[in-house]
Structure formats: structure tokens, C-alpha cells
Amino acid sequence: MPLSLPFDNSYARLPGRFHARLDPTPVASPGLIAVNDTLAQELGLAPQTLRSASGVQMLAGNAVPEGAAPLAQAYAGHQFGGWVPQLGDGRAILLGEVIDTNGTRRDIQLKGAGPTPFSRRGDGRAAIGPVLREYIVSEAMHALGIPTSRALAAVTTGEAVLRERPLPGAVLTRVAASHIRVGTFQYFAARGDTEALRLLTDHAIARHYPQAETALDLLNGVIAAQARLIARWMGVGFIHGVMNTDNMTISGETIDYGPCAFMDTYHPDKVFSSIDQHGRYAFSRQPDIAVWNLAQLASSLLPLINDNDEAAVETATAALRGFGDLFRAEWLSVFRAKLGLTTAEPEDADLISGLLDRMAFARADFTNTFRGLADDSARDQFTQAEAFDQWATAWQARLARDLPDHQARLRAASPAYIPRNHRIEQAIQAALTGDLTPFHALNAVLARPFDDQPKQAAYALPPRPEETVTRTFCGT
């Protein structure tokens, strides 16, 4: 008997050109990898139901729950700056939307659920490695307090997917505030479909920016949300790796964990993605790329901003110019907190950059340097300790002008644990031999990133040279 979930599918009610309606393609032999109990409860779903035989069938796409309206969303996008007029969900199927226990509408989507009309040459499937990677990293981001899509569950399919070699297939159940992207707006703008743009704008406003009244309000809302998001990425050393416009949400949540990575040693130019040969999406370029993407959103919205083209461009350009100040303010607030500061002084930006510059020079571990500010171990990250000491003298003087008891504030602003690439790799390699223990152990540590967890100290260590991961791969 198929499960019944309390769906209310607003995206499915949009006109037919927004999506392709189809069911997931069943798989040979579903097996449970993980269910996220806390998230299930937040969604009003019983974890034991998801873990049951019929639950696992549903999570694998073999049984469509009652009330679902499965569909693949249409969207377009710029990939590495190149325009692709039609992308769309090529391997993801939205089962539907539920209203969670906080009253928020959430998408439930199966990623790796089989081919769709948008699959192009792809097989519609996902390999277990990228599924586990997205599960680990998206849940770690959430625990770090960073807006993100979530992982509700992961299952194996009992089928092989062919990549460079055959790999076990898996399906991730992704939960998001919505899957509407910059590329969704671009899709309709490129087709001159102003009616669809208007419907999409109303839909996005109702879901994500209820105070907004106009397309310009929506644009401003997304600009502010993305400025906030990217400052938070940078506060934990996160590199998204594939900030194409189809991977940038309107909600302001992080989405699409393909070749992403957290830095171990800090460098502003760091790139991990094997497909990012020119460093387009390098760590410190992320705010610039965000503006570039937001400009694509702005130009998609022009016909709704003003009937007069010139006036529309002028208004949208002014809105985009706001990004720089918003980002700067968010970045300062993130990094002031990481230095234990609660007040603002004009020289704070120099103090922050002073530390980051020294860290880059010393190849200091990003996470352990900031965490180490709370217990004086930051100094160990610097081969030339005088460089750090000189900075620390200025920092101490600045701290003395702020509130006392900065230790607890430092620990609350800088995690001890991030999903380090070598740990993710170890969890994936073990899973490929059938051992899920490292995957579960890693998730448990990352669920409490700001707690000291002395027994788990090994998870805070950077990779040994032979463990270092220098490249990450797009999970297709």
C-alpha cells in the first residue's frame, strides 16, 4: 500500500510549460542508507514510516505516495558563463510540497530518480558517492547555521550506474524551501513568456518574500539573501564550486553540492572543482559571481520592473549596485564575530584582512586558525609565529575595547568541525565496500560543529599529505 503524505503541490498547479509531469522510474532493489529523523519530524513525517519497507520503496521512487504530483521542473541557465536555453531537472523529480511543523512550505524531491524529458544525454541517475557527499555536506551546512537544502534520506538502488566505471546507484531525498532558481526565471525570459514570468514572480514572492509586492522587491530580496548567504559560506571556508545560474536559488538556500569543498589550508584563490579550469568559481570570486548571476535574474525580470526598457534597466542596475554594500556588511558581521567582536570600529576590516593575509602566507588551516583563537592554539598554525603575534597584539588591544568573555563568543562563531574532504572521501570509500559506519560517524560529529567533542578530536585534524584531496568532481 502506498504511503500517504500531507502534500499540497503549488508548483504542480502552475501551467504545464513550467514542468513535465512524470513518475520516478522504479529501481531493482532499494536498500536504506539513512533517514534523517530530526528533519522527518520537522516535516511532520514519522521516521519509522520512512524506514519501513514501503517507506524505502517510496524513497527509491518505486512507489509514489498518495497526494504526490511528481514532476521535473523546467529551467535554463548559464553554465560557466555559457548560455544553455534548456536544462531542467534531468535526474530529479519533485514529489510534491508539504507544510512543515513551522508552517513553512518545503519541496520533497528525489534526486537520481530516473530520466526525464530534460535528461539530454544523461541517465537520470546518481552514484552513491555524490549522494553521500550531498547528504553529509548539506546537513553539515545546516548544523553550521547556513541556509541550505537538506537531506531527508538516502537509499541504494541495487543497480549500477556507469560513470568512468560502474558504481552503485543511489537516490537522495532532498528537501528545500523551493527549487526555484535564477535559471527558472531565465527560462521564461528567454522565451519572451512574460505571463509565465509574472506567475513565477507571484509564486516566488508568496513562498519566499511575502512582504514583497513587486518584481523589484523580489529582486532586492534575492540580492540581500544571496549577499547574506555568500558571506556565511566565506565565514566557514566553503567553496561552492559550480555557481552556475541554475544552481543559485531564489530562496537564498545553498543548493547543488557537486564539486563543492571546505578549505583545509586557506588561500583566497583556492579552487577544487575538476571542471573549473580557469578558477571562475574560486573562493574569493564568489561574491563577484553572485552579482553576475543576480544580473541575469535582474535582466530576466526587466519586463516586470518597468514597461519602459530604459527605466527598467536603470532601476535594476541600481538594485544590483546595492549588492556590494550588503555583502560587505554581512562579511564584516560574520568575521567580526569570528574575532569575538560585538561592536564595530572602522579599522576592523583591516584587522580581519590582516589575519587572512597572514593565514594565506602561512598556509594556515582555515577552521583550526579561527577555532584556535578561543584557546591560543591559532598560533600553532603559523610557521613564523612572530607574524601571528604581531597581529594578535593588535587584536588583543581591540578585544580589550569590546565586551568581556570573548571565549564563548569565539567558539559560537567558529566551528571545530567541518566536513573535511578527506573524511568525506573515507566515508564514501568505506560505503563502496558496504561499510556505512564512517558515514554515520561523520554525520554525528558534524551535527554539533560548535561543541568541543574531545573524543572526536581526530575529525578536527587536517588531512595528512597522503590524505589530501585536491580535486572534487561534479557528481553526474
Alpha-carbon torsion (242, 243, 246, 251), positive or negative: positive
Q: Which stretch binds ligand AMP (CB under 6 A): 98-106, 239-247, 412-420, 431-439?
A: 239-247
Q: How far is the CB of 75 from ligand AMP (least distance, A)?
A: 7
Q: How far is the CB of 453 from ligand AMP (least distance, A)?
A: 33
Of 107, 246, 256, 365, catalytic: 246
DSSP 120: T
Alpha-carbon torsion (14, 19, 25, 31), positive or negative: negative
| Whether 118 contacts 72, CB under 8 Å | yes
Residue 54 three-state SS: helix
Out of 44, 47, 67, 90, point to the residue binding ligand AMP (CB under 6 A).
90
Residues 6+ apart with CB under 8 A from 192: none
Alpha carbon dihedral 195, 201, 204, 209, in 10-degree steps, equals -160
* Residue 107 binds Mg ion, judged by CB under 5 A: no
* Residue 253 binds Mg ion, judged by CB under 5 A: no
* Residue 183 binds ligand AMP, judged by CB under 6 A: no
Q: Which stretch binds ligand AMP (CB under 6 A): 49-57, 242-250, 315-323, 360-368?
A: 242-250
* Residue 109 binds Mg ion, judged by CB under 5 A: no
Name the phi and psi angles at 10, rounded to 5.
Answer: -70, -35
Q: Which partner from the list Mg ion, ligand AMP, none does 476 bind, CB cut-off 5 to 8 Å by kind?
A: ligand AMP
Q: Which partner from the list ligand AMP, Mg ion, none does 91 bind, CB cut-off 5 to 8 Å by kind?
A: ligand AMP
* Residue 247 binds Mg ion, judged by CB under 5 A: yes
Nearer Cβ to ligand AMP (93/146): 93
* Residue 168 binds ligand AMP, judged by CB under 6 A: no
Q: Which stretch binds ligand AMP (CB under 6 A): 141-149, 241-249, 350-358, 394-402?
A: 241-249
* Residue labelled with grid coordinates 537522495: 172
| Whether 174 contacts 92, CB under 8 Å | yes
Q: Round to whole Å and give the CA distance between 254 and 247.
A: 8
Give alpha helix (H) positions in 45-121.
47-51, 53-59
* Residue 256 binds Mg ion, judged by CB under 5 A: yes
Residue type, 375: D
Tell me which residue of 394, 445, 391, 454 sits closest to 418, measured CA to CA: 445
Q: Which partner from the list Mg ion, ligand AMP, none does 365 bind, CB cut-off 5 to 8 Å by kind?
A: none
Residue 110 three-state SS: strand
* Residue 134 binds Mg ion, judged by CB under 5 A: no
Q: Round to whole Å and give the CA distance between 196 and 187.
A: 10
Q: Which partner from the list Mg ion, ligand AMP, none does 131 bind, CB cut-off 5 to 8 Å by kind?
A: none
Q: How far is the CB of 457 from ligand AMP (least distance, A)?
A: 35
Q: Round to whole Å and give the CA distance between 92 and 179.
A: 11
Nearer Cβ to ligand AMP (281/391): 281
Nearer Cβ to ligand AMP (144/172): 172
Q: Which partner from the list ligand AMP, Mg ion, none does 123 bind, CB cut-off 5 to 8 Å by kind?
A: ligand AMP
* Residue 247 binds ligand AMP, judged by CB under 6 A: yes
| Whether 264 contacts 198, CB under 8 Å | no
* Residue 114 binds ligand AMP, judged by CB under 6 A: no
Out of 97, 253, 256, 276, point to the residue binding ligand AMP (CB under 6 A).
256
* Residue 88 binds ligand AMP, judged by CB under 6 A: yes
Q: Which stretch binds ligand AMP (CB under 6 A): 123-131, 206-214, 282-290, 389-397?
A: 123-131
Q: Which partner from the list ligand AMP, Mg ion, none does 119 bind, CB cut-off 5 to 8 Å by kind?
A: ligand AMP
* Residue 258 binds ligand AMP, judged by CB under 6 A: yes
CA distances in angstroms from 286 to 17, 136, 227, 361, 386, listed in the order given: 32, 22, 10, 21, 31
Q: How far is the CB of 186 from ligand AMP (least distance, A)?
A: 13
Q: Round to whole Å and give the CA distance between 30 and 358.
A: 50
Residues 6+ apart with CB under 8 A from 172: 110, 111, 112, 126, 131, 134, 135, 151, 153, 154
246 annotated active-site: yes
Out of 91, 133, 142, 336, point to the residue binding ligand AMP (CB under 6 A).
91
Residue 228 three-state SS: helix
Tell me which residue of 212, 243, 234 sits closest to 367, measured CA to CA: 234
Residues identified as active-site? 246
Q: Provide the binding-site residues for ligand AMP, judged by CB under 6 A.
A: 87-91, 118-119, 122-125, 242, 246-247, 256, 258, 474, 476
Q: Provide the binding-site residues for Mg ion, judged by CB under 5 A.
A: 247, 256
